[in-house]
Structure 1
Amino acid sequence: MTKINIQNMMSESGVAFGTSGARGLVNQMTDQVCAAYTLAFLHGLNLTKPGQKIALGMDLRPSSPAIVRACAAAINQAGCEAVFCGALPTPALAFYAMSLNLPAIMVTGSHIPFDRNGIKFYRAEGEISKADEVAISQATVELDDIIDHGSMPTLNPDALRQYNHRYTDLFAADMLSGWRIGIYEHSSVARDCLREVLSSLGAEVISLARTETFVPIDTEAVSEEDRQRGLAWAQEYQLDAIISTDGDGDRPLIADETGTWLRGDIVGLLCAQFLVADTVVTPVSCNTAIEASGLFQQVLRTRIGSPYVIAGMEQAEQAGSQSVAGFEANGGFLAGKGLRVADQILTALPTRDAVLPALVLLAMAKQQNVKLSTLSNNLPKRYTASDRLQDFPVAASRALLEQLQNDDSAYKSLWGSELGAIQQKDVTDGLRLTFANGEIVHLRPSGNAPELRCYAEAANMVRAQTLVTTSLERIAKQVVS
């Protein structure tokens, strides 16, 4: 038996909490590290009562099964029982666990490259908080030797079945009759359940680019290859929409009938409108059209990351909001209490979900008898774009942000005087600069990988994308020089 201090293990292994969950390189996520995290979760949050069941799931990364086995071994060591739900979307595991009042562990690296992976932890009430992360980090555990025999736990299919019924029971069985919808399947763990749900609702489903090799799809930074793929697929197959997700199925990627991918924050805005939310909780990086639309009684802005959005949703509900929605710039939608579809109350699911916003946009278009591309026509004309510099050291990101924040003339080295003076600096998460011409540039180190993310907002899409591209190019050039 080995005594492991989690804080020390985090420093030595490099596997640490990021924006959502513990993440690290696959070669850092040894059996011992993964099992120690699992024990720290169970013991640190006092979840080890006799006979306690723990829901366990995974994505389709090649490294995920071994991590599942290590987590299952630690669950057994703690005197608990692992309920293995197989490969399924993160929100499916969370929905199942919350319905049975079970803690849950999801093995996934979400959208980050295949050489990395991660573990997300859930209390019976939902995602763990940042305070829970601190409690886990401060734990010390005693770990037996982990022997991996290569056999997976017995599969329980109930979670995926229940998740599918959540949506096939919510919408009319013929809602998508007559529509041709492409599913960009790649290696998304949601690809098969998306097919089942869309087909059950009457759609003709076209499979696109399915692969057994893991593909890291970042819904906030769609590659040029995928932009062109969307346009080509829409034309070739005469599609009404294309639906995809990131690796673990909690962030949607939705294209209209032209094959143009929709921005996640606009998807979230439209989804919250359809579900009749009175309060929206969303990170500071999302489009200011949310406030400018006047569709919601209250908009609360948070730091980036679902734990912060969830904390804001809980705050709103405690303050008396009757219907609360949360969403992020990546499109992940969090359903709070009181949301409804027509006369049906939607069961709360306060964790990122990709299937709900996709179905809602399709339902809106069908209800209004319009194309998907027209749904945002009546929204304020504010457009956002985002991308990232990969393999960009966190220390370099922080030094850049500190310089821009503290030196009023430093921004001119990147943007000259073309944007005008800085009117507002927002340091809620990273550095968000609002310029005199009304344009916004937001820089932030990623919480999951050595990347610098850039978000921009402008009066048209081309300008927003240009702001992102030129900002990142100049930053990269400045750092190299």
Structure 2
Amino acid sequence: MKIFGSSGVRGVANEELTPAFVARVAMAVGSVWATDTDGDVSVALGRDTRTTGRMFADSASSGLTSVGCDVDRLGVLPTPGLQAYADETGIPAVMITASHNPAQYNGVKLVGPDGVELARDALERVEDRLLGERFERVPWNETGDVRTVEEARERYVDGLLASVDREPIAAADLTVALDPGHGAGALTSPEFFRRLGCRVVTVNAQPDGHFPGRDPEPVEKNLGDLRRLVRATDADVGIAHDGDADRAIFVDETGTHVEGDAALAAFAGDELQAGDTTVSAVNVSQRLVDTVRDADADLELTPIGSTNIITSIQRLEREGTRVPVAGEGNGGILFPDYRLARDGAYAAARFLELLVDRAASDIAADHAGYHNVRVNVGYEDDAERERLVTRAEAAALDADAELTTIDGYRLDYGDAWVLVRPSGTEPVVRIYAEARDLDRAQELADSMHDALQQN
């Protein structure tokens, strides 16, 4: 795969990602879908709040209609809202989003008619068309039509409400502090949680593609406003989304950040039964490993990225294995019985169900005791990237630890682990480390960082 990374294709807008390139991606995937349906296909098209979103949506619409696809333009909505529309209507979809990336980025994510991100083999078909510029352009009088769909966000929220046990949440009289980070969730999550019966207070809730209040990634350093809002309003929980609202990260009632890995472990502890399997990525926390073991369940690891996790879930379910919950510690959680898609609003509602009986701090405490460190090492070009990867490999092979190479190089030391891998969405090599002692985790991350900097 040369074009599509761990979650679609992304780049700096008007530099790495241009309107012409997005049009070609749309022409390629439209050609594949038109071929699969004998030339009669409609495609849903959505975007997040980024300032370049309309420009790229226009490019994608032009590319799709040029190969004969009709286009349903849904406007700004969360990626899971687009996926819900695709699943309900049975048509494939294109989402213009860079998810958690900074404001200057944008990207393209492709979704099948079942509402599920395209699997690796389907993406490879699109990539082959794109690289070979084999587009099925149609005559002028056969180009596709475009229509505006006004109610997609409302349909998404209605679907969420129908999928959640509303009564106990409403009866708990919860106060929710919400930080949608100026992203697409600002247009859906406040209404959703109010209709669940919660008192909702917000920060960074105005849709704004400049992301003036915070960067789109809902990591601890970006959530100071939310932590202060929780404390100021005596909220029961704080909820933060990324730019396209397919992720949810939490803050407890004291204003303390809840590690995404702890939330995933809490969901797993609530859902897993003996014989079940959960799926996570190679940067999985020991928190989840311990929870899976306690439930007498199984854990399957994949390369990082929702596409890889979804592909594994699909295979396991075909084999008859129950997968009630899966995901990553970045807040991207899947509940396959609901929908095979990451959905920040739905995951947050499931967390509210846990709060009916317990405080968020108590839930987090059950999965505490580990410390995480993450370091990014930037690079300028492919040659420098390869040098960094080569140095990472040398350091990994020289280490006295159990080595896993599913995605990058993960070293397990028994009391701690470190992982180094190139990002699939940004020009950085990421270093992750976890240990029960913060100094130990920092030491492992620093050691790998030093190895990458050696000449």
Determine if the TM-score, normalized by the shorter chain, exceeds 0.5: yes
Does residue 441 (structure 1) correspond to residue 441 (structure 2)? The answer is no
- Report what 1:197 is aligned to: 192
Match of 2:279 in 1: 281
Q: Does 1:351 align with 2:341?
A: yes
CA distance in 2 between counterparts of 1:40 and 1:364 reads 44
Q: Does 1:466 align with 2:438?
A: no
The one-letter amino acid paired with 1:432 is R
Task: Summarize deviations over 1:459-480 as a string: whole Å, max 9, x none.
Answer: 15x447635764576467x36x
Q: What per-residue deviation string (whole Å, max 9, x for no partner) do you get for residues 140-195 of structure 1?
A: 234879xxxxxx96431343223212332222246145322111133211123110
Residue matched to 1:17: 4
> After superposition, what is the alpha-carbon deviation per residue over 1:292-334, rounded to whole angstroms, capped at 9, x for unaligned?
2222522111111111101110121122113432201211112
Tell me the percent identity. Answer: 23
Structure 1 residue aligned with 2:70: 81
- The separation in 2 between residues aligned to 1:280 and 1:231, in whole angstroms, is 30
Q: 1:207 to 1:404 in 2, by over 3 A?
A: closer
The answer to whether the 8 A contact 2:177-2:200 is kept is: yes
Q: Counterparts of 2:109 and 2:79 in 1: how far apart (Å)? A: 9
Q: Which consecutive residues of structure 2, in runs of 5 or more, have no partner in the other structure? A: 139-144
Q: The residue matched to 1:141 in structure 2 has which SS?
A: coil
**The residue matched to 1:352 in structure 2 has which SS?**
coil
After superposition, where does 1:138-217 map in structure 2 within 5 Å?
Answer: 138-139=128-129, 140-142=133-135, 154-169=147-162, 170-173=164-167, 175-176=169-170, 177-211=172-206, 212-215=208-211, 216-217=215-216
Aligned: 1:71 with 2:60: yes
Task: Tell me: CA distance 1:471–1:156, structure 2 relative to 1, closer, same or farther (3 Å).
Answer: farther
Contact 2:227 2:238 in 1 (8 A): no
Q: Find the counterpart in structure 2 of residue 319 from structure 1.
A: 319
* d(CA) in 1 for partners of 2:301, 2:418: 17
**Correspondence for 1:112:** 101
> Are the aligned partners of 1:282 and 1:326 in contact in 2 as well (CA < 8 Å)?
yes
Partners of 1:474 and 1:231 in 2: how far apart? 33
1:263-317 CA distance string (max 9 Å, x none): 2232223223434562211111011222322225221111111111011101211
Q: Which residue of 2 aligns with 1:453?
A: 430
Cα distance in 2, alignment partners of residues 180 and 110 from structure 1: 27
2:88 matched residue in structure 1: 99
1:371 corresponding residue in structure 2: 359
The one-letter amino acid of 1:44's match is V
Please say if residues 264 and 288 of structure 2, whose CA atoms lie closer than 8 Å, have aligned partners that are also in contact: no
Mark the CA change 1:422 to 1:228 in structure 2 (over 3 Å): closer, same or farther. farther
Q: 1:121 to 1:260 in 2, by over 3 A?
A: same
TM-score (norm 1): 0.82
What's the TM-score, normalizing by structure 2? 0.86
Question: Which residue number in structure 2 is paired with residue 416 of structure 1?
Answer: none
SS state of the match for residue 169, structure 2? coil
1:206 is paired with a residue whose SS is strand
2:229 to 223, 230, 233: 233
Contact kept in structure 2, 1:56 and 1:106, CA below 8 Å: yes
Q: CA deviation at 1:394?
A: 5.5
* Cα distance in 2, alignment partners of residues 387 and 128 from structure 1: 30
CA RMSD of aligned residues (A): 2.8
